[in-house]
Amino acid sequence: MPELPEVETVRRGLAPAMEGACIGRLELRRADLRFPFPPDFAERVSGTRIVGLGRRAKYLLIDLDSGETVVAHLGMSGSFRVEQESESELPGAFHHTRSKDEKHDHVVFHLEGAEGAIRVIYNDPRRFGFMDILPRVDLDNYPTFRQLGPEPVGNTLDAEGLAVRFAGRSQPLKAALLDQSNIAGLGNIYVCEALWRAGLSPKKPAGTMVTPAGKPRKELVRLVEAIRVVIADAIAAGGSSLRDHIRTDGTLGYFQHTFRVYDREGHACANPECDGTVARIVQSGRSTFFCSRCQK
């Protein structure tokens, strides 16, 4: 499942083609994806102009000049493809092959912009993604977004706010970080990486990160900074499941080349001051990778 950095990379790849463009026609090639399309979906989108392309957690937001917003989720296998005349581009092209088989092209945005006619095509072989539309003013009350916590980018995530959410919680830290009501958009990979960078055990009770007075301990401040850095680094590298990003020195730069613990069971800990070994445990049905020697 694409995580926040992957979705943000896709958003940035689509923005040049979509922002400011008019949607001459929205073509639906089937009646549903994971869920049926909203009533009159094509009619409500066709003829509008895209005023902005945003993201909330792992969801793309397409803001229209009609005052409505299209909410799109990639699911397990969804991707967008931009086609202009004879050229075809897959923004945020995935390292694990994404389908270009036209039989899985389910939604087509026929755009009219400064660069001429463009098609933005949503392809999804497994159809676990979905699209919805609602008034922009109702977005905060959208069922999927209503309980979401702050984003792990920008200035909305801070140790003080997280202390309020963690106070009195006996839940393991790993589970608390995956809880979307605490932080929006964090997934398994980046939680493991952030905990390693912060030197914190995934089994540590979340409530121990907060003082009796409800203030964040220094460990929580350190964790918030680690989360920010991990997400920023992953976005800069194009995510973990996206295509190879070439650095100026010619080396591959996509984020999974810099994993410190995720999927590294049995490897030596990457901390040069630690002689531990990365272990794998299962928490809430998910694999957790960590170093028990330096993560306390």
Question: Would you give per-residue pLDDT tens digits along the chain (296 residues)?
Answer: 677 888 888 898 899 999 999 999 999 999 999 999 999 999 999 999 999 999 999 999 999 999 999 999 999 888 888 888 656 665 554 434 455 678 999 999 999 976 678 999 999 999 999 999 999 999 999 999 999 999 998 788 999 999 999 999 999 999 999 999 999 999 898 999 999 999 999 999 999 999 999 999 999 999 999 999 999 888 877 655 444 333 323 333 455 557 899 989 999 999 999 999 999 999 989 999 999 999 99
- pLDDT value of residue 262: 92
Considering 56, 58, 98, 264, which one is annotated as catalytic?
A: 58
- 203 catalytic per annotation: no
Cα gap 132→188, rounded to integer Å: 26
Report the largest interatomic distance among the alpha carbons of the chain, rounded to a whole angstrom.
64
Which run of H or of E encompasses 176?
helix 173-178
pTM: 0.84
Backbone angles phi, psi at 247, to 5 degrees: -75, 170
Angle made by CA atoms 163, 165, 168, in degrees to the nearest 5: 80
DSSP annotation of 206 = G
- Concatenated DSSP letters for 227-256? HHHHHHHHHHHT-SSB---B-TTS-B--GG
CB 152 within 8 A of CB 231: yes
Pair of tokens at residue 280: 């794998």
Close Cβ partners of 289 (under 8 Å, ≥ 6 residues apart)? 192, 261, 262, 263, 264, 265, 278, 279, 280
- 286 catalytic per annotation: yes
Residue by residue, what is the 3-state secondary structure of 111-122? EEECCEEEEEEE
**Spatial CA neighbour of 206 closest among 152, 163, 170, 181:** 170
Residue 60 burial (CB count, 10 A): 24
- pLDDT value of residue 54: 96
- pLDDT value of residue 131: 98
- 56 catalytic per annotation: no
Angle made by CA atoms 268, 269, 272, in degrees to the nearest 5: 110
Q: Can you tell me which residue has the tokens 């589970």? A: 175
- 3 catalytic per annotation: yes
Considering 2, 172, 202, 216, which one is annotated as catalytic?
A: 2
